[in-house]
Structure 1
Protein backbone atom coordinates (compact mmCIF):
# COMPACT_ATOMS: atom_id res chain seq x y z
CA UNK A 1 0.00 0.00 0.00
CA UNK A 2 1.45 3.35 -1.05
CA UNK A 3 1.61 6.52 1.04
CA UNK A 4 0.24 9.85 -0.20
CA UNK A 5 2.47 12.90 0.18
CA UNK A 6 0.86 16.36 -0.05
CA UNK A 7 3.11 19.25 -1.04
CA UNK A 8 2.13 22.89 -0.56
CA UNK A 9 4.88 24.94 -2.22
CA UNK A 10 5.21 28.69 -1.61
CA UNK A 11 5.34 31.23 -4.41
CA UNK A 12 8.46 32.86 -2.98
CA UNK A 13 10.81 32.41 -0.04
CA UNK A 14 13.74 34.29 1.46
CA UNK A 15 16.57 32.37 3.10
CA UNK A 16 19.57 33.65 5.05
CA UNK A 17 21.76 30.58 4.51
CA UNK A 18 23.74 29.77 1.34
CA UNK A 19 21.54 26.79 0.53
CA UNK A 20 17.84 25.95 0.44
CA UNK A 21 16.11 22.74 1.43
CA UNK A 22 12.72 21.27 0.60
CA UNK A 23 11.46 22.38 4.02
CA UNK A 24 12.33 25.99 3.12
CA UNK A 25 10.15 26.10 0.01
CA UNK A 26 7.27 23.74 0.82
CA UNK A 27 5.08 22.33 3.55
CA UNK A 28 4.91 18.53 3.51
CA UNK A 29 2.17 16.37 4.96
CA UNK A 30 1.97 12.57 5.01
CA UNK A 31 0.59 9.96 7.39
CA UNK A 32 3.98 8.26 7.26
CA UNK A 33 6.05 10.83 9.13
CA UNK A 34 9.32 9.13 8.15
CA UNK A 35 8.68 10.25 4.57
CA UNK A 36 8.34 13.88 5.65
CA UNK A 37 11.34 13.76 8.00
CA UNK A 38 13.50 12.23 5.29
CA UNK A 39 12.56 14.78 2.62
CA UNK A 40 12.71 18.01 4.63
CA UNK A 41 16.52 18.33 4.98
CA UNK A 42 17.28 17.47 1.35
CA UNK A 43 19.07 20.38 -0.37
CA UNK A 44 17.55 21.74 -3.57
CA UNK A 45 20.27 24.21 -4.52
CA UNK A 46 23.25 26.17 -3.24
CA UNK A 47 23.86 29.85 -3.88
CA UNK A 48 27.30 30.79 -5.15
CA UNK A 49 26.45 34.37 -6.07
CA UNK A 50 26.45 35.69 -2.47
CA UNK A 51 22.81 36.75 -2.72
CA UNK A 52 23.07 38.51 -6.10
CA UNK A 53 20.89 36.06 -8.04
CA UNK A 54 17.34 34.81 -7.70
CA UNK A 55 16.39 31.25 -8.50
CA UNK A 56 13.28 29.36 -9.53
CA UNK A 57 12.57 25.87 -8.25
CA UNK A 58 9.87 23.85 -10.00
CA UNK A 59 7.60 21.39 -8.24
CA UNK A 60 8.85 18.83 -10.75
CA UNK A 61 12.25 18.94 -9.02
CA UNK A 62 10.63 17.78 -5.78
CA UNK A 63 8.68 15.11 -7.65
CA UNK A 64 11.96 13.84 -9.07
CA UNK A 65 13.55 13.66 -5.63
CA UNK A 66 10.57 11.81 -4.19
CA UNK A 67 10.71 9.26 -7.01
CA UNK A 68 14.40 8.65 -6.32
CA UNK A 69 14.01 8.36 -2.55
CA UNK A 70 10.82 6.27 -2.37
CA UNK A 71 9.16 3.55 -4.40
CA UNK A 72 5.59 3.62 -3.08
CA UNK A 73 4.76 7.28 -2.49
CA UNK A 74 2.08 9.14 -4.42
CA UNK A 75 2.66 12.89 -4.62
CA UNK A 76 -0.14 15.47 -4.67
CA UNK A 77 0.64 19.16 -5.21
CA UNK A 78 -1.80 21.55 -3.51
CA UNK A 79 0.24 24.75 -3.83
CA UNK A 80 2.27 26.67 -6.38
CA UNK A 81 4.07 24.99 -9.28
CA UNK A 82 7.11 27.31 -9.16
CA UNK A 83 8.88 29.02 -6.28
CA UNK A 84 11.08 32.12 -6.49
CA UNK A 85 14.02 31.88 -4.08
CA UNK A 86 16.00 34.88 -2.90
CA UNK A 87 19.08 34.60 -0.72
CA UNK A 88 19.62 37.40 1.78
CA UNK A 89 22.13 38.09 4.47
CA UNK A 90 21.04 37.67 8.06
CA UNK A 91 19.90 40.83 9.84
CA UNK A 92 22.73 42.83 11.27
CA UNK A 93 23.16 42.98 15.04
CA UNK A 94 24.08 46.68 14.79
CA UNK A 95 20.93 48.11 16.37
CA UNK A 96 21.93 51.76 16.01
CA UNK A 97 22.34 51.33 12.25
CA UNK A 98 18.86 49.81 11.94
CA UNK A 99 17.44 52.65 14.05
CA UNK A 100 19.21 55.20 11.85
CA UNK A 101 17.71 53.68 8.69
CA UNK A 102 14.20 53.69 10.17
CA UNK A 103 14.61 57.29 11.35
CA UNK A 104 15.80 58.42 7.92
CA UNK A 105 12.85 56.74 6.19
CA UNK A 106 10.40 58.32 8.67
CA UNK A 107 11.85 61.80 8.07
CA UNK A 108 11.64 61.39 4.29
CA UNK A 109 8.04 60.15 4.49
CA UNK A 110 7.04 62.93 6.90
CA UNK A 111 8.32 65.79 4.74
CA UNK A 112 7.18 64.08 1.53
CA UNK A 113 3.63 63.64 2.85
CA UNK A 114 3.62 67.21 4.21
CA UNK A 115 4.69 68.60 0.85
CA UNK A 116 1.99 66.57 -0.94
CA UNK A 117 -0.73 67.81 1.43
CA UNK A 118 0.37 71.44 1.08
CA UNK A 119 0.47 71.12 -2.72
CA UNK A 120 -3.04 69.66 -2.73
CA UNK A 121 -4.43 72.37 -0.46
CA UNK A 122 -2.79 75.08 -2.53
CA UNK A 123 -4.11 73.65 -5.79
CA UNK A 124 -7.74 73.42 -4.65
CA UNK A 125 -7.48 76.67 -2.66
CA UNK A 126 -8.81 75.37 0.66
CA UNK A 127 -8.35 78.80 2.24
CA UNK A 128 -10.48 80.45 -0.42
CA UNK A 129 -13.15 77.78 0.00
CA UNK A 130 -13.29 78.41 3.76
CA UNK A 131 -13.70 82.13 3.11
CA UNK A 132 -16.64 81.50 0.75
CA UNK A 133 -18.33 79.17 3.27
CA UNK A 134 -17.92 81.71 6.09
CA UNK A 135 -19.25 84.53 3.93
CA UNK A 136 -22.23 82.41 2.88
CA UNK A 137 -23.13 81.47 6.46
CA UNK A 138 -22.16 84.58 8.44
CA UNK A 139 -21.75 87.35 5.87
CA UNK A 140 -18.10 87.82 6.91
CA UNK A 141 -15.41 85.89 5.07
CA UNK A 142 -13.12 85.80 8.14
CA UNK A 143 -15.61 84.85 10.86
CA UNK A 144 -15.06 81.23 11.90
CA UNK A 145 -12.31 80.67 9.33
CA UNK A 146 -9.68 79.80 11.95
CA UNK A 147 -12.00 77.28 13.59
CA UNK A 148 -12.69 75.62 10.26
CA UNK A 149 -8.97 75.42 9.51
CA UNK A 150 -8.33 73.86 12.94
CA UNK A 151 -11.07 71.25 12.47
CA UNK A 152 -9.81 70.53 8.96
CA UNK A 153 -6.26 69.94 10.23
CA UNK A 154 -7.40 67.71 13.09
CA UNK A 155 -9.76 65.79 10.82
CA UNK A 156 -7.01 65.18 8.29
CA UNK A 157 -4.67 63.83 10.99
CA UNK A 158 -7.31 61.54 12.47
CA UNK A 159 -8.35 60.39 9.00
CA UNK A 160 -4.78 59.45 8.10
CA UNK A 161 -4.40 57.44 11.31
CA UNK A 162 -7.67 55.57 10.71
CA UNK A 163 -6.93 54.95 7.04
CA UNK A 164 -3.43 53.59 7.60
CA UNK A 165 -4.60 51.65 10.68
CA UNK A 166 -1.49 52.50 12.66
CA UNK A 167 -0.61 54.58 15.70
CA UNK A 168 3.05 54.09 16.49
CA UNK A 169 3.87 50.36 16.69
CA UNK A 170 0.23 49.37 17.31
CA UNK A 171 -2.60 48.69 14.89
CA UNK A 172 -6.02 50.20 15.45
CA UNK A 173 -7.69 47.00 14.22
CA UNK A 174 -6.78 43.44 13.25
CA UNK A 175 -7.12 44.17 9.53
CA UNK A 176 -3.94 44.51 7.47
CA UNK A 177 -2.95 48.09 6.75
CA UNK A 178 -3.28 49.51 3.21
CA UNK A 179 0.51 49.56 2.95
CA UNK A 180 0.68 45.87 3.84
CA UNK A 181 -1.99 45.08 1.25
CA UNK A 182 -0.21 47.00 -1.49
CA UNK A 183 3.15 45.45 -0.58
CA UNK A 184 1.65 41.93 -0.83
CA UNK A 185 0.09 42.80 -4.20
CA UNK A 186 3.41 44.17 -5.42
CA UNK A 187 5.27 41.09 -4.18
CA UNK A 188 2.81 38.76 -5.94
CA UNK A 189 3.08 40.77 -9.18
CA UNK A 190 6.88 40.65 -9.07
CA UNK A 191 6.95 36.91 -8.42
CA UNK A 192 4.43 36.21 -11.18
CA UNK A 193 6.41 38.37 -13.60
CA UNK A 194 9.62 36.48 -12.80
CA UNK A 195 7.93 33.10 -13.24
CA UNK A 196 6.17 34.13 -16.46
CA UNK A 197 9.38 35.60 -17.85
CA UNK A 198 11.22 32.37 -17.12
CA UNK A 199 8.51 30.26 -18.78
CA UNK A 200 8.79 32.45 -21.88
CA UNK A 201 12.57 32.03 -21.91
CA UNK A 202 13.13 35.79 -21.62
CA UNK A 203 13.99 35.75 -17.93
CA UNK A 204 17.44 35.60 -16.39
CA UNK A 205 16.70 33.39 -13.41
CA UNK A 206 18.52 30.15 -12.78
CA UNK A 207 16.42 27.03 -12.63
CA UNK A 208 17.02 24.06 -10.40
Structure 2
Protein backbone atom coordinates (compact mmCIF):
# COMPACT_ATOMS: atom_id res chain seq x y z
CA UNK A 1 0.00 0.00 0.00
CA UNK A 2 1.36 3.41 -1.00
CA UNK A 3 1.71 5.99 1.79
CA UNK A 4 -0.13 9.24 1.14
CA UNK A 5 1.42 12.57 2.05
CA UNK A 6 -1.05 15.43 2.58
CA UNK A 7 0.53 18.79 1.91
CA UNK A 8 -1.01 22.14 2.83
CA UNK A 9 0.87 25.29 1.85
CA UNK A 10 1.05 28.25 4.21
CA UNK A 11 -0.36 31.35 2.57
CA UNK A 12 2.18 33.86 3.94
CA UNK A 13 5.53 33.45 5.66
CA UNK A 14 7.86 36.14 6.96
CA UNK A 15 11.60 35.87 7.38
CA UNK A 16 14.27 38.38 8.33
CA UNK A 17 17.32 36.52 7.09
CA UNK A 18 18.87 35.34 3.84
CA UNK A 19 18.50 31.65 4.52
CA UNK A 20 17.57 28.24 3.18
CA UNK A 21 13.82 27.58 3.01
CA UNK A 22 12.84 24.13 4.27
CA UNK A 23 9.56 22.39 3.49
CA UNK A 24 8.39 22.72 7.11
CA UNK A 25 8.83 26.51 6.85
CA UNK A 26 6.23 26.91 4.11
CA UNK A 27 3.93 23.88 4.40
CA UNK A 28 2.22 21.50 6.82
CA UNK A 29 2.68 17.77 6.28
CA UNK A 30 0.50 14.89 7.41
CA UNK A 31 1.57 11.34 6.66
CA UNK A 32 2.25 7.98 8.26
CA UNK A 33 5.44 7.61 6.22
CA UNK A 34 8.72 7.13 8.08
CA UNK A 35 10.22 9.83 5.84
CA UNK A 36 8.10 12.63 7.32
CA UNK A 37 10.92 14.29 9.33
CA UNK A 38 13.32 13.93 6.43
CA UNK A 39 10.79 15.53 4.06
CA UNK A 40 10.19 18.44 6.44
CA UNK A 41 13.91 19.21 6.44
CA UNK A 42 14.12 19.19 2.62
CA UNK A 43 15.67 22.43 1.33
CA UNK A 44 13.48 23.90 -1.39
CA UNK A 45 14.97 27.32 -1.96
CA UNK A 46 17.80 29.59 -0.83
CA UNK A 47 16.94 33.26 -0.33
CA UNK A 48 19.54 35.64 -1.72
CA UNK A 49 19.86 39.42 -2.05
CA UNK A 50 18.52 39.17 -5.63
CA UNK A 51 15.11 38.18 -4.23
CA UNK A 52 14.63 41.65 -2.71
CA UNK A 53 11.54 41.44 -0.50
CA UNK A 54 9.11 38.85 -1.96
CA UNK A 55 9.48 35.23 -3.11
CA UNK A 56 6.58 33.12 -4.40
CA UNK A 57 6.95 29.34 -4.19
CA UNK A 58 4.51 27.24 -6.19
CA UNK A 59 3.20 23.96 -4.79
CA UNK A 60 3.54 22.09 -8.10
CA UNK A 61 7.29 22.68 -8.14
CA UNK A 62 7.47 21.32 -4.59
CA UNK A 63 5.45 18.22 -5.46
CA UNK A 64 7.64 17.64 -8.54
CA UNK A 65 10.74 17.86 -6.39
CA UNK A 66 9.33 15.52 -3.72
CA UNK A 67 8.12 12.95 -6.29
CA UNK A 68 11.59 12.76 -7.77
CA UNK A 69 13.06 12.27 -4.31
CA UNK A 70 10.35 9.90 -2.97
CA UNK A 71 8.88 8.02 -5.98
CA UNK A 72 7.08 5.50 -3.76
CA UNK A 73 4.91 8.12 -2.03
CA UNK A 74 1.68 9.71 -3.21
CA UNK A 75 1.31 13.46 -2.66
CA UNK A 76 -2.02 15.24 -2.29
CA UNK A 77 -2.27 19.01 -2.12
CA UNK A 78 -4.78 20.76 0.14
CA UNK A 79 -5.45 24.49 0.51
CA UNK A 80 -3.46 27.31 -1.18
CA UNK A 81 -1.37 26.61 -4.29
CA UNK A 82 1.40 29.04 -3.41
CA UNK A 83 3.31 30.43 -0.47
CA UNK A 84 4.40 34.06 -0.46
CA UNK A 85 7.61 34.59 1.50
CA UNK A 86 8.13 38.17 2.66
CA UNK A 87 11.70 39.14 3.45
CA UNK A 88 11.43 41.72 6.23
CA UNK A 89 14.45 43.83 7.03
CA UNK A 90 15.39 44.17 10.68
CA UNK A 91 13.83 47.36 11.99
CA UNK A 92 15.95 49.90 13.81
CA UNK A 93 14.67 51.65 16.92
CA UNK A 94 12.73 54.77 15.84
CA UNK A 95 14.32 58.16 16.39
CA UNK A 96 12.40 59.94 19.23
CA UNK A 97 12.59 63.27 17.36
CA UNK A 98 11.05 61.77 14.22
CA UNK A 99 8.33 60.06 16.29
CA UNK A 100 7.56 63.34 18.09
CA UNK A 101 7.44 65.27 14.79
CA UNK A 102 5.11 62.73 13.12
CA UNK A 103 2.88 62.59 16.22
CA UNK A 104 2.66 66.42 16.30
CA UNK A 105 1.92 66.56 12.57
CA UNK A 106 -0.86 63.97 12.87
CA UNK A 107 -2.27 65.66 15.97
CA UNK A 108 -2.45 69.08 14.29
CA UNK A 109 -3.85 67.59 11.06
CA UNK A 110 -6.55 65.66 12.93
CA UNK A 111 -7.48 68.68 15.04
CA UNK A 112 -7.79 70.86 11.92
CA UNK A 113 -9.94 68.22 10.21
CA UNK A 114 -12.32 67.95 13.17
CA UNK A 115 -12.56 71.75 13.57
CA UNK A 116 -13.23 72.31 9.86
CA UNK A 117 -15.88 69.58 9.88
CA UNK A 118 -17.62 71.19 12.86
CA UNK A 119 -17.43 74.59 11.18
CA UNK A 120 -18.93 73.19 7.93
CA UNK A 121 -21.91 71.65 9.73
CA UNK A 122 -22.35 74.71 12.04
CA UNK A 123 -21.93 72.57 15.16
CA UNK A 124 -21.69 75.56 17.51
CA UNK A 125 -25.00 76.94 16.24
CA UNK A 126 -26.60 73.51 16.64
CA UNK A 127 -25.37 73.29 20.24
CA UNK A 128 -26.58 76.84 20.96
CA UNK A 129 -29.97 75.96 19.50
CA UNK A 130 -30.11 72.75 21.52
CA UNK A 131 -29.30 74.72 24.68
CA UNK A 132 -32.12 77.16 23.89
CA UNK A 133 -34.61 74.34 23.28
CA UNK A 134 -33.75 72.67 26.59
CA UNK A 135 -33.39 75.73 28.83
CA UNK A 136 -35.20 78.56 27.04
CA UNK A 137 -32.12 80.78 27.40
CA UNK A 138 -29.59 82.02 24.85
CA UNK A 139 -25.94 81.10 25.52
CA UNK A 140 -23.05 81.54 23.08
CA UNK A 141 -20.96 78.88 24.89
CA UNK A 142 -23.15 76.07 26.27
CA UNK A 143 -20.24 74.28 27.99
CA UNK A 144 -22.49 71.69 29.64
CA UNK A 145 -23.13 70.36 26.10
CA UNK A 146 -19.75 71.11 24.51
CA UNK A 147 -17.50 69.50 27.16
CA UNK A 148 -19.30 66.09 27.29
CA UNK A 149 -19.54 66.18 23.48
CA UNK A 150 -15.76 66.68 23.16
CA UNK A 151 -15.02 63.87 25.65
CA UNK A 152 -17.51 61.58 23.88
CA UNK A 153 -15.88 62.34 20.52
CA UNK A 154 -12.48 61.15 21.81
CA UNK A 155 -13.92 58.06 23.52
CA UNK A 156 -15.91 57.21 20.40
CA UNK A 157 -12.75 57.27 18.28
CA UNK A 158 -10.98 54.98 20.78
CA UNK A 159 -13.86 52.49 20.68
CA UNK A 160 -14.09 52.73 16.88
CA UNK A 161 -10.40 51.85 16.41
CA UNK A 162 -10.54 49.32 19.29
CA UNK A 163 -7.09 50.28 20.59
CA UNK A 164 -5.49 52.16 23.43
CA UNK A 165 -1.80 52.04 22.45
CA UNK A 166 -1.17 48.23 22.40
CA UNK A 167 -4.21 47.33 24.49
CA UNK A 168 -7.32 46.01 22.72
CA UNK A 169 -10.80 46.42 24.18
CA UNK A 170 -12.16 43.23 22.61
CA UNK A 171 -11.24 40.56 20.07
CA UNK A 172 -13.10 42.13 17.15
CA UNK A 173 -10.89 43.70 14.47
CA UNK A 174 -11.13 47.44 14.01
CA UNK A 175 -12.31 48.85 10.63
CA UNK A 176 -8.71 49.91 9.97
CA UNK A 177 -7.46 46.34 10.53
CA UNK A 178 -10.14 44.98 8.19
CA UNK A 179 -9.08 47.45 5.48
CA UNK A 180 -5.41 46.52 5.95
CA UNK A 181 -6.35 42.82 5.73
CA UNK A 182 -8.31 43.41 2.50
CA UNK A 183 -5.39 45.38 1.06
CA UNK A 184 -3.02 42.52 1.97
CA UNK A 185 -5.34 39.99 0.27
CA UNK A 186 -5.43 42.09 -2.90
CA UNK A 187 -1.64 42.48 -2.81
CA UNK A 188 -1.16 38.71 -2.42
CA UNK A 189 -3.47 38.03 -5.38
CA UNK A 190 -1.58 40.55 -7.49
CA UNK A 191 1.80 39.04 -6.60
CA UNK A 192 0.54 35.49 -7.27
CA UNK A 193 -1.05 36.50 -10.59
CA UNK A 194 2.10 38.19 -11.85
CA UNK A 195 4.25 35.29 -10.70
CA UNK A 196 2.05 32.91 -12.70
CA UNK A 197 2.32 35.16 -15.78
CA UNK A 198 6.10 35.13 -15.49
CA UNK A 199 6.14 31.34 -15.12
CA UNK A 200 3.92 30.90 -18.20
CA UNK A 201 6.30 32.85 -20.45
Q: TM-score when scaled to structure 2? A: 0.83
Deviates more, 1:40-49 or 1:105-114: 105-114
The 2-side partners of 1:84 and 1:76 are apart by 20
Uncovered stretches (5+) of structure 2, i.e. residues with no partner: none
Q: Do the aligned partners of 2:53 and 2:88 also contact (CA within 8 Å) in 1?
A: no
Q: Do the aligned partners of 1:5 and 1:30 also contact (CA within 8 Å) in 2?
A: yes
CA deviation after TM superposition for structure 1 residue 188, in Å: 1.0
Change (3 A) 1:121 1:35: farther
Instruction: Please list, as runs of the form range in 1=range in 2, the aligned pairs for 1:111-190 lying within 5 A after superposition.
Output: 111-142=108-139, 145-190=142-187
Aligned residues: 198
Change (3 A) 1:151 1:66: same
The 1-side partners of 2:30 and 2:177 are apart by 30
Q: Secondary structure at the match of 2:35?
A: helix
Q: CA RMSD in A?
A: 2.6
CA deviation after TM superposition for structure 1 residue 42, in Å: 2.2
**2:195 matches 1:198:** yes
Change (3 A) 1:177 1:135: same
Q: Secondary structure at the match of 1:127?
A: helix
Show the counterpart of 1:28.
Answer: 29
CA deviation after TM superposition for structure 1 residue 155, in Å: 0.9
Uncovered stretches (5+) of structure 1, i.e. residues with no partner: none
**2:67 matches 1:47:** no
Q: TM-score when scaled to structure 1? A: 0.81
CA shift digits 1:15-63 (9 cap, x unpaired): 122132222221222223x433112222222233266242211110110
Q: Do the aligned partners of 1:51 and 1:86 also contact (CA within 8 Å) in 2?
A: no
> Relative contact order, CA 8 A, sep 6+: which one is greater?
1
